[in-house]
Amino acid sequence: MGDKKIQETTEAQIAVHWQEEEYYYPSTKFIGQANLTDPEVFDRFSLDNFPQCYVEFAEMLTWYKYWDEVLDTSDAPCWKWFKGGKLNASYNCIDRHLKDNKNKTAIHFVPELEEERVDHITYQELYVRVNEFAALLRDFAGLKRGDRVTIHMPMSAELPITMLACARLGVIHSVVFGGFSASACADRIIDSNSRVLISMDAYYRSGNLLNHKVNADEAVELAAKEGQVVDKVLVWQRYPGKYSSETPMVDGRDYFVNEVVKDYYGSRIEPEQMLSEDPLFLMYTSGTTGKPKGCQHSTGGYLSYVTAMSKYIQDIHPEDVYWCMADIGWITGHSFIVYGPLALCASTVIYEGVPTYPDAGRSWRIAQELDVNIFHTAPTAIRALRKIGPDEPAKYEYHFKHMTTVGEPIEPEVWKWYESAVGKGEAIIVDTWWQTETGGFLCSTVPGIKPMKPGSAGPGVPGIHPIILDDNGDEVTQPGIAGNICIQNPWPGCFQTIWGDRDRFVDTYFGRYCKNPESKDWRDWPYLAGDAATKSADGYYRILGRIDDVINVSGHRLGTKEIESASLVVEEVAEAAVVPVAHDIKGKEPDLYVSLKPGYEASDEIAQKISDAICEQIGKIAKPRKVWLVPDMPKTRSGKIMRRVLGAISNKGDVGNVMTLANPEVVETIRTMVQG
Ligand code: WT7
């Protein structure tokens, strides 16, 4: 069963979806200052002007050498954007701003502990710190252009410094979300063949200083077992000069960055002139099989795209204070905390901890103190903030002009609270639909041009031409009918391939609808996003959810197969099946059904052991709501586990007709067990 398998969008999935809502219009005040207000942008970016239209995005950057060709399709579907062009991402995010803005804050780092002061890092200081760390990476760690480095770090100013230092040298960074386990980190070290791991000793989460360095030791050990040797672990310190972890440093392998970097004080590193099509980073994401996919993003195409999206859709001006609450360890953080805002010379906020720590007013105090005017978060955070502190925003003196929601569909009710309470009726909202693979936005309203519609992402952004296809590859033209949303054209932000697995890349994203695999014409290669969607009569898209085995938990993407494989590692487990259950804050939660091998009795200990195994192998975010130890899985006569039946039971829905199953009687047993 490959990535190609698609499940139908069930009637139920569509039925639970909400009704059409009224438009909300941007204020004249917003339009008066917006970066993009010319509706002709949609003509400029029509398919007739493809791919030439994208030169407008590339020209937002500073190039050492202009490209020879806007789009090279000769290696379809591995598109090469701005081919032959040369640039450096670190130069574009730092050096080019120094002449006029060296004293401006690039990064506001907000520690979780409120008694610790915010650290304001100017562009000049960012320049110095990135150069010195790049010198260390080159001369101490021996890294060079094209090498891969795994970075397992929490939210800190040192994380973008590390990423930008890599970019300066042309080293491909692979950032692993700090909350992921050592084992997940090891998988990524192995897959990317990293021989250097960059970590941090500790960080705060809900008021506790967590030992993070311990993960580095474990990850290195696990990687070594699979033959991938990490010879250097570079450890940043939460409190420079002080070690905040109990885990010993390994002699000859582990080094404190803050000590070693002293040898590089004053160093300046000439940015490497990278080809536009050279990879900038890898970002792993979940798919249909257990093995995460290393999405390979390019330098020129990616940076052009996120810069343009930050300017046009996020409406970032250099004088804005922009706060995106995502974690830098996800694509949202890469594109919309680090690369996009810094390329535009904005001030970007990095918050270490939990948005509701120590209380429900914390986020709004941060907004007030830094005078944040652009705010970016996910429905899961909005739901949590609304639940624990619906009246908190009004107590603080801040004013957003612009707010984003991203990561999962947002319920109109929640959208309206976001608009009126958090936005105080003054901010426009963009609901941006996109993916790790796509680098930047696919659907969203252009905030100064199109009205908002609660619960709907909006039309394709300029240059993106979505289409809804049915299972036969025909376009679904009737409004409100669900199908598979695809993008008809390539775009510069799209990832180039899956690291080391081109076949999986072609198969997963293009296999389903490409009729001629030999074709070099981009028109033959619609991109399959993996979401079901509907299009309304006004051309706005609503995203219904994944059509593959991916669950969206708190806006984080988890593969059901990943969770199932993690539980199968437990000795007693015979079979495992994961289904999504609705949750009022997280959106979805995984529910795990397990049958045991003969000779084992179901017990709380076994259930706990399975749950622990999942947290250990993937991370706490994958922890199941409940581990149900069932006598047997409901199966078809051919032996296929009926996940749909389990999903209906978990969600208290209708299991439908189960009489054709091989073991219909087990359905009632499981239903009683789960629903009581
Ligand atoms: C999946 C991608 C995009 C960065 C964060 C998640 C879902 C994303 C929306 C939205 C409805 C959304 C889709 C998509 N999704 N944005 N605005 N409305 N659904 O990136 O982890 O790669 O997940 O998140 O299902 O395929 P990701």
Residue 8 clears pLDDT 50, i.e. is over it? no
Our mutation pick for probing the ligand 1 site, out of 383, 542, 552, counting the most ligand atoms within 8 A of Cβ, is: 552
Least confident piece of the model among 4-13, 35-44, 458-467, 470-479: 4-13
What are the phi and psi torsion angles at 26 (to 5°)?
A: -65, 150
Residue 229 clears pLDDT 80, i.e. is over it? yes
Q: Which atom of ligand 1 is nearest to the CA of 443?
A: 17
Residue 288 clears pLDDT 80, i.e. is over it? no
Our mutation pick for probing the ligand 1 site, out of 335, 336, 434, counting the most ligand atoms within 8 A of Cβ, is: 434
- What integer best gives the mean pLDDT of the chain? 94
578-589 per-position pLDDT tens digit: 999 999 999 899
pLDDT of residue 3: 42
Distance 379 CA to ligand 1 centre (A): 11
According to CATH, the superfamily of the domain at 554-675 is ANL, C-terminal domain (3.30.300.30)
**CA separation (Å) from 625 to 238, 313, 613?**
32, 36, 14
Residue 385 clears pLDDT 80, i.e. is over it? yes
Distance 409 CA to ligand 1 centre (A): 8
Q: Please tell me the distance from the alpha carbon of residue 3 to that of residue 517, in angstroms, as a whole number.
A: 17
Residue 504 clears pLDDT 90, i.e. is over it? yes
Q: Please tell me the distance from the alpha carbon of residue 566 to that of residue 241, in angstroms, as a whole number.
A: 38
Residue located nearest, by CA, to atom 21 of ligand 1? 557
Residue 47 clears pLDDT 50, i.e. is over it? yes
Q: Please tell me the distance from the alpha carbon of residue 415 to that of residue 630, in angstroms, as a whole number.
A: 39
Reported as a pLDDT band with limits 50, 70 and 90, residue 17 is low
* H-state helical runs in 45-149: 55-58, 89-90, 96-101, 123-139
Distance 407 CA to ligand 1 centre (A): 4
Percent of residues, the chain, with pLDDT higher than 90: 87
Closest CA to 344 of 611, 528, 94, 168: 94
Q: Which atom of ligand 1 is nearest to the CA of 405?
A: 17
Distance 123 CA to ligand 1 centre (A): 31
Reported as a pLDDT band with limits 50, 70 and 90, residue 9 is very low
Reported as a pLDDT band with limits 50, 70 and 90, residue 5 is very low
Closest CA to 348 of 316, 382, 300, 311: 316
Residue 211 clears pLDDT 60, i.e. is over it? yes
Residue 11 clears pLDDT 70, i.e. is over it? no
What's the average model confidence in pLDDT over 662-670? 93
Distance 32 CA to ligand 1 centre (A): 30
pLDDT of residue 601: 94
Reported as a pLDDT band with limits 50, 70 and 90, residue 12 is very low
Please count the residues of the chain.
676
Residue 513 clears pLDDT 60, i.e. is over it? yes
- Domain spans of the chain, in order of start: 554-675
Our mutation pick for probing the ligand 1 site, out of 406, 411, 544, counting the most ligand atoms within 8 A of Cβ, is: 406
Closest CA to 382 of 369, 367, 363: 363
What's the average model confidence in pLDDT over 551-555? 88
Percent of residues, the chain, with pLDDT higher than 70: 97
Closest CA to 409 of 375, 464, 376, 454: 454
Judged on CB neighbours under 10 Å (0-12, 13-18, 19+), 555 is buried
**CA separation (Å) from 291 to 184, 265, 471, 504, 675?**
10, 41, 26, 11, 33
Distance 406 CA to ligand 1 centre (A): 7
Instruction: Measure the CA angle with vertex 280, ends 442 and 334; round to 5°.
Output: 50
Residue 103 tokens, joined = 């004293």
Distance 435 CA to ligand 1 centre (A): 5
What are the phi and psi torsion angles at 433 (to 5°)?
A: -105, 125
What's the average model confidence in pLDDT over 398-403? 98
Residue 546 clears pLDDT 90, i.e. is over it? no
Q: Please tell me the distance from the alpha carbon of residue 99 to that of residue 425, in angstroms, as a whole number.
A: 38
Q: Please tell me the distance from the alpha carbon of residue 370 to that of residue 119, in angstroms, as a whole number.
A: 11
Amino acid identity at 523: R
3-state secondary structure of 546: strand
What's the average model confidence in pLDDT over 603-612? 96
Q: Which atom of ligand 1 is nearest to the CA of 552?
A: 24
Cβ pair 348, 152 in contact under 8 A: no
Helices (H) and strands (E) in the chain, counts: 22, 30
Q: Which atom of ligand 1 is nearest to the CA of 555?
A: 6
Residue 547 clears pLDDT 90, i.e. is over it? no
Reported as a pLDDT band with limits 50, 70 and 90, residue 4 is very low
Cβ pair 83, 73 in contact under 8 A: no
Residue 659 tokens, joined = 């009489």
**Residues in a beta bridge with 285:** 293
Residue located nearest, by CA, to atom 12 of ligand 1? 408
User: In this predicted model, which residue has the larger pLDDT, 660 or 306?
Assistant: 306
Closest CA to 373 of 348, 394, 401: 401
- DSSP character string of 127-171: HHHHHHHHHHHHHTS---TT-EEEEEE-SSTHHHHHHHHHHHHTP
Q: Please tell me the distance from the alpha carbon of residue 209 to that of residue 190, in angstroms, as a whole number.
A: 28
Distance 552 CA to ligand 1 centre (A): 8
Residue located nearest, by CA, to atom 6 of ligand 1? 407
Residue 108 clears pLDDT 90, i.e. is over it? yes
Q: Where are the beta strands (DSSP E) in 180-292?
A: 196-200, 202-205, 208-211, 232-236, 254-256, 274-275, 279-285
Least confident piece of the model among 119-128, 241-250, 634-643: 634-643
Reported as a pLDDT band with limits 50, 70 and 90, residue 2 is very low
338-374 per-position pLDDT tens digit: 999 999 999 999 999 999 999 999 999 999 999 999 9
What's the average model confidence in pLDDT over 314-320? 96
Distance 235 CA to ligand 1 centre (A): 32
**CA separation (Å) from 425 to 169, 367, 429?**
45, 16, 10
Distance 175 CA to ligand 1 centre (A): 19
Distance 7 CA to ligand 1 centre (A): 18
Q: Please tell me the distance from the alpha carbon of residue 274 to that of residue 445, in angstroms, as a whole number.
A: 33
Q: Please tell me the distance from the alpha carbon of residue 76 to that of residue 520, in angstroms, as a whole number.
A: 5
Pocket of ligand 1 (CB under 6 A): 285, 331-332, 406-409, 431-436, 457, 529-531, 543, 545-546, 552, 555, 557
Q: Where are the beta strands (DSSP E) in 382-521?
A: 402-406, 428-432, 466-469, 483-487, 497-498
**Considering all CA atoms of the chain, what is the largest pairwise distance in Å, rounded to the nearest integer?**
75
pLDDT of residue 659: 85
Q: Please tell me the distance from the alpha carbon of residue 108 to that of residue 634, in angstroms, as a whole number.
A: 53
Q: 592: which residues sit within 8 A by CB, 6+ positions away?
A: 563, 564, 567, 576, 577, 578, 610, 611, 614, 624, 626, 627, 628
Residue located nearest, by CA, to atom 14 of ligand 1? 435
Least confident piece of the model among 178-182, 218-222, 542-546: 542-546
Q: Please tell me the distance from the alpha carbon of residue 273 to that of residue 89, in angstroms, as a whole number.
A: 9
Residue 329 clears pLDDT 90, i.e. is over it? yes
